[in-house]
Amino acid sequence: MEMSIHSTTILAVRHKDKTAIGGDGQVTLGTVVMKSDAHKIRRLHGGKVITGFAGASADAFALLERFEAKLKDHQGSVPRAATELAKDWRMDRSLRRLEAMLVVADKEHLLLLSGNGDVIQPTDGIAAIGSGGAYAQAAARALALHSSLRAMDIVRAALGIAADLCIYTNRNIEVEEI
């Protein structure tokens, strides 16, 4: 019997000149919750960049490590670091097998890095990945359009909605803002 890993919901919202990234803390293996307080949001480059990851943990950490190295190589330029990581991801055979995705942000940029080596800048400033990503993204879009909430509050509320709908998402929510 193959056990599939479902491990998170990550949501990023750029709203009113602030960007917030949040994630839940649940990690499941098959139908069992293995951990409820995982930390999937990280600050990099002296706290100037926030990242969130979804997918296989070891793969996500490998990508985070490489992204951080690219940030160093490119003086903290998030678009350049993301593009260079995407190039490596597409060309390096071992990287292509990684099963993880990243959302990265600084004060000016919000990008999603996919497992296909894509770098996507969402038009509406909202990006979500992971098991409950579609629920969180839909909720965040509605909240951004129809409320006066701050980015951090939109992320927290939308992740709460995703937790109500997605069995792989819990309410142990962590949010960072830049």
Alpha-carbon distances, residue 49 vs 7, 82, 107, 171 (angstroms):
22, 12, 8, 24
Per the rule left: phi > 0, alpha: psi between -120 and 50, beta: everything else, 156 is: alpha
What pLDDT does residue 110 have?
98
**15 within domain boundaries:** yes
Answer yes or no: is 176 within a domain: no
Catalytic residue ranges: 8
**Residue 178 domain-assigned (yes or no):** no
CA 77 to chain centre: 18
pLDDT-derived band of residue 57, with 50, 70 and 90 as boundaries? confident
Does a structural domain hold residue 177? Answer: no
% of the chain beyond a pLDDT of 70? 92
pLDDT number for residue 7: 66
Higher pLDDT, 54 or 22: 22
> Tokens 């000149």 — which residue?
17
Residue 111 lies in a domain: yes
**Strand locations in 17-172 (E):** 18-23, 27-29, 32-35, 41-44, 49-55, 100-105, 110-113, 119-120, 126-130
Q: Are 13 and 144 in contact (CB under 8 A)?
A: yes
**pLDDT at 4 (0 to 100):** 43
Q: Which domain holds residue 129?
A: 5-170
Q: What is the mean pLDDT of the chain?
A: 90
- 47 part of a folded domain: yes
14, part of any domain: yes
**Percentage of the chain with pLDDT > 90?**
71
Residue 5 clears pLDDT 60, i.e. is over it: no
Phi-psi region of 58 (alpha: psi -120 to 50; beta: other; left: phi over 0): alpha
Counting the structural domains of the chain, the total is: 1
Instruction: Give the pLDDT score at 29.
Output: 81
Whether the predicted pLDDT of 76 surpasses 90: yes
Residue 39, pLDDT > 80, answer yes
CATH of the domain at 115: 3.60.20.10
Query: Does the residue 45 lie in any domain?
Result: yes
Smallest CA-to-CA distance from 178 within 50, 16, 80 is with 50
Q: What is the pLDDT of residues 79-135, one digit of tens each?
A: 999 999 988 877 776 666 677 899 999 999 999 998 677 899 999 999 999 999 999
Summarize pLDDT for 10-22 with one digit per residue, the tens: 999 999 999 999 9
pLDDT at 147 over 60: yes
Q: Which residues sit opposite 50 in a β-bridge?
A: 43, 105
